[in-house]
Structure 1
Amino acid sequence: MTSDCSHDGPTRRDCVKYGSAVLGGGLLAGCLEDGDAPASGTTGTALATTTGTTAEDDSYTARMAPAGGVEFDAVPEDVFTILNHHTDMVLALGRGDAVNAMHAPGYIESLYSKFLARLDGVSIDWTGLYSSWPPTKERLYELDSDVHLADPAKVATAEGWDADDIAEVAENVGPWFGNTLSGSHQEPPGDWADEYEYYDLWEIFARVAEVFQETERYEALAAVRQSMLATVESNRPPESERPSAAQVLFSTSDDGMWGYKLNHPGYYAAHTRPLGAEDALADAVGEGYGDDGRNITLDYELLLEADPDVLLVLGPMSAYHDIAEIRSRLESHAVASQLTAVQEGRVYTQGARRQGPILNLFQTEMAAKQLYPEQFGEWPGYVDGEPYPEIPAEEQLFDRQRVADVIAGEP
């Protein structure tokens, strides 16, 4: 294999190809036509679009910006992913074993194993998978994936990649189909601005389900979520009685930390925005702060100025953070020890902002209990290294067995 990966010759893969997406000037264009995107906030709606269902032509088309319309002649069997919101979707559709790559597989497996322990019969083994950010073109040829479930606009920002490389891999290996910048409505690279659309998490999931012809599974899981959101909506306290909260991630190497907005648009806040808590960091400004709310660089003084009633800490359900150590550090720090959340013992574990449907269900439940224990039952706490805690059936906000059955193919 040559180092420049030019790979002259005919297209290797005819079974999966771009349909309405077009190549122009080396850029994979193919934006959604008017009316393709569902209304903001919609969930539980089937989006499958099938073209040709005769024995002679079983092709179908899935559509999502920025890739546009992508035509498939067969359901993909080998799936490349980068970020775990896409990986989670593949797992939720019963195809966890089809994943051949993801960013930081050790981290993701250590995180997801804690949640999956509560879904009977659902397990993962992602040990040794290619850590795919930033990807290399040579490795993508070696993996020979049927679909690259990754955002081409995001991949185009990686060193060594340009629009021609994106188009080459789509043509010679397998198409791109993913959306990442909807996480916080991050502005796309200039060449992709005209093609980009923002979706909520479950809209992305619906469109990924099209790729695998699994609309029924999607609809079943979306119904579980809708039921949980209805419970939250009808039982959360009035705004005047809701606590203030902050969501933070602590550095593993120093006293650095980052804050993330609870009610910001995008799927990063898909588990906190429906709860409607007061965001203690809503007006926070720190070094590295951006208008998209992705990255508020905090110090303890700025956090004390915000002084949340509840502190939601990302990461300790993985193997890379320790909630007991974080609490101890906060309690012994001259400034952090003054935080209301620390003094009242309301420093809680959360999972990750990059979430797919499975993580979203669990994280919405845990955040509801952490913020509103009187309405949704006391959060039992998380013990480092243990699975997601057992919650009595009558206090669960969603049906674990139903979710496990859907993933297993019994929708």
Structure 2
Amino acid sequence: MDPTPHADRSRRAFVTAGLAAGSATLAGCIGTTDSEPTADGDSYTVSMAPMGEVEFDSVPEDAFVAFPQYADMAVALGHGDAVTTLFAPDMSGATMNTYYDRLEGVSFEWAGLENPLADGLEEERLYALDSDVHFLDPSYPVKTDDDWDAATIDDIADQIGPWVGNFHSGVHSEPAAEYADSYEYYTLWELFERVAAVFREKERYEALAEVHADLRSHIESNLPPESDRPTVARVTLGDGQFYAYHLNTPGYWQADTRPLGARDVFADRDWERDWGTVGYEAMLEEDPDVLLHLWGITPRYAIGNVRKRLENDSAGSRLTAVQDDRVVPGGMRYQGPLMNLFQLEMTAKQLYPEQFGEWPGYEAGESYPEIPADERLFDRQRVAEIVTRGP
């Protein structure tokens, strides 16, 4: 696509340095997550792989977002109104509000947002959107779309606004070759810290990180011995087979399951992709105690319908998890910090009801279920206050 119609564009007040493919500009910068004011006191930089040092002259007001973890981060930081695009908004946005319904004063206006990946990422569309920042890993389009290369990425950053994202930390997958030398893997909350630096919301990040740390500590200190933990398959039900995902491997896709330390029935399986496929008979051989259905709390999959499909299948009906009514909804793997708090609580109750209280169940299309105050694993009011008013 010819970028020449935009050649006379004035450069925006957002610039990047060190994005060139294969550069090693992160040396000595990784771990520097605070905003760093320059001499004039207005511009600041944020360090994040694979971009390196990203410089801003002011806080972004319009944010291009692909995957919803960045939309959730923006909401958590009090900047949800900046989000102008979202992957699968009718699923992603609706799921976010499923959780936010339990946080007083917190909501996300997703209706009308376009899906920037619906027809593939289009360069011309990015120019038309004219976003202050692009929350997408530059490695993602370069690796997945032949129309994109590092030079195009650099042009977008220079003429419109910088890229800030790290996709491959999801399961520690391989980045595009152009970015391999400068790549780092982050946890979900390390990514959130860097996005907070973009919005200059360090205090909000720190307050929410404290809530998360307390939740993690509570969960980990009350887990039963490993021998008493259930066997679990994390799956999505397809046609005649299951799409299976790991529970305890590195990456933010597992940020709501890894801290719970359940026994993954597929832990020893290696898949060429980020997931594998398993037939009914293979699932029966493993016969997990719990089937944790990924996307089960989203509008995409009604968990009641999933149970019925399994009950009506000659093989599926013989699964222990089906017979014991332990086919339960999981959350989204593209989770931000607020989603992560709820998904940790939800999964802890589903896997360990004796330690963390019974999961009350979930009906498709409803809000996250109401849980009595004394059975909640984190303070809703505190989180809502941080998001709506600041720490």
5 Å matches for 1:242-391? 242-251=229-238, 254-284=239-269, 289-290=271-272, 294-391=274-371
Letter in 2 for 1:131: N
Question: Is the CA contact 1:309–1:346 (under 8 Å) kept in the aligned structure 2?
Answer: yes
1:41 matched residue in structure 2: none
Residue 320 of structure 1 deviates from its aligned partner by 1.8
2:75 matched residue in structure 1: 91
1:32 matched residue in structure 2: 26
Flag the 1:22–1:311 CA change in 2: closer, same or farther, 3 A. Answer: closer
Cα distance in structure 2, aligned partners of 1:9 and 1:238: 63
User: Among 112, 134, 158, which residue is 1:148 paired with?
Assistant: 134
User: Among 93, 114, 126, which residue is 1:109 paired with?
Assistant: 93
User: Among 16, 31, 34, which residue is 2:14 paired with?
Assistant: 16
After the TM superposition, which segments of 4 or more aligned residues of structure 1 sit over 4 Å from their partners?
none
Flag the 1:192–1:22 CA change in 2: closer, same or farther, 3 A. Answer: closer
Cα distance in structure 1, aligned partners of 2:92 and 2:389: 23
Question: Is the CA contact 2:43–2:55 (under 8 Å) kept in the aligned structure 1?
Answer: yes
1:44 matched residue in structure 2: none
User: Among 368, 376, 380, which residue is 1:396 paired with?
Assistant: 376
User: Among 203, 206, 214, which residue is 1:216 paired with?
Assistant: 203
Deviation by residue 1:13-65 (Cα, 9 ceiling, x = unmatched): 3411114x153xxx374642236238xxxxxxxx3131326xx4411100100
1:232 matched residue in structure 2: 219
Question: Is the CA contact 2:29–2:47 (under 8 Å) kept in the aligned structure 1?
Answer: no
5+ long unaligned stretches in structure 1: 39-46
Cα distance in structure 2, aligned partners of 1:407 and 1:375: 29
Deviation by residue 1:113-164 (Cα, 9 ceiling, x = unmatched): 2111111111111112121112111110111000001100112122411111
Residue 247 of structure 1 deviates from its aligned partner by 0.8
Letter in 1 for 2:134: H
2:62 matched residue in structure 1: 78
Secondary structure at the counterpart of residue 345 of structure 1 = coil
5+ long unaligned stretches in structure 2: none
Question: Is the CA contact 1:101–1:131 (under 8 Å) kept in the aligned structure 2?
Answer: yes
Answering whether residue 155 of structure 2 is matched by residue 168 of structure 1, we say: yes
Letter in 2 for 1:145: S
Residue 9 of structure 1 deviates from its aligned partner by 3.2
TM score, norm. by length of structure 2: 0.95
Secondary structure at the counterpart of residue 32 of structure 1 = coil
Letter in 2 for 1:277: A
Secondary structure at the counterpart of residue 127 of structure 2 = helix
Letter in 1 for 2:335: Q
Question: Is the CA contact 2:12–2:159 (under 8 Å) kept in the aligned structure 1?
Answer: no
Question: Is the CA contact 2:12–2:161 (under 8 Å) kept in the aligned structure 1?
Answer: no
Cα distance in structure 2, aligned partners of 1:28 and 1:126: 36
Letter in 2 for 1:310: V
Answering whether residue 109 of structure 2 is matched by residue 129 of structure 1, we say: no
Secondary structure at the counterpart of residue 348 of structure 1 = strand
Give the percent of matched residue pairs that are identical in Structure 1 and Structure 2.
Answer: 48
Letter in 2 for 1:64: M
Question: Is the CA contact 1:31–1:65 (under 8 Å) kept in the aligned structure 2?
Answer: no
Deviation by residue 1:59-107 (Cα, 9 ceiling, x = unmatched): 1100100011001110000000111111211111111111011211111
Secondary structure at the counterpart of residue 342 of structure 2 = helix
**What count of residue pairs does the alignment treat as equivalent?**
388
Cα distance in structure 1, aligned partners of 2:162 and 2:103: 32
Letter in 2 for 1:81: V
Deviation by residue 1:250-271 (Cα, 9 ceiling, x = unmatched): 23xx334211100011000011
Cα distance in structure 2, aligned partners of 1:379 and 1:34: 46
Cα distance in structure 2, aligned partners of 1:57 and 1:410: 23
Question: Is the CA contact 2:14–2:56 (under 8 Å) kept in the aligned structure 1?
Answer: yes
Secondary structure at the counterpart of residue 388 of structure 1 = coil
Residue 249 of structure 1 deviates from its aligned partner by 1.2
2:193 matched residue in structure 1: 206
TM score, norm. by length of structure 1: 0.91
Residue 165 of structure 1 deviates from its aligned partner by 1.0
Question: Is the CA contact 2:22–2:180 (under 8 Å) kept in the aligned structure 1?
Answer: no
Question: Is the CA contact 1:28–1:166 (under 8 Å) kept in the aligned structure 2?
Answer: no
Cα distance in structure 2, aligned partners of 1:195 and 1:284: 29
Flag the 1:11–1:68 CA change in 2: closer, same or farther, 3 A. Answer: farther
Secondary structure at the counterpart of residue 350 of structure 2 = helix
Letter in 2 for 1:229: R
Flag the 1:284–1:343 CA change in 2: closer, same or farther, 3 A. Answer: farther
CA RMSD of aligned residues (A): 1.6
Question: Is the CA contact 2:298–2:332 (under 8 Å) kept in the aligned structure 1?
Answer: no
